[in-house]
Amino acid sequence: MHGLSVADTLGSMMIILGILLKIPSKWPLLILGIISLAIWNTMLGYVLAYCSTEEAKNE
């Protein structure tokens, strides 16, 4: 699941970079989008890992 999450994050970042190359005038918003995507997916990964380990301990 971690590999899929990383691939999804990197793919989304590549899409945003492609848009940045196509519309360079919007670079502040696109850079903010890349940073937000990286932070959100990292935090979501930690939450999912924590929840799955708690569930495994209870079983």
Tens place of pLDDT for every residue, the chain, 59 residues?
556 666 777 888 888 899 999 999 999 999 998 888 888 877 877 777 788 776 555 55
pLDDT of residue 6: 64
Quick one: three-class SS letters along 38-49? HHHHHHHHHHHH
Q: Taking the chain, what is the end-to-end CA distance rounded to the nearest angstrom?
A: 20
Radius of gyration of the chain (CA): 15
Domain count, the chain: 1
Domain housing 46:
2-58
Asked whether 20 and 27 are in contact (CB, 8 A), the reply is yes
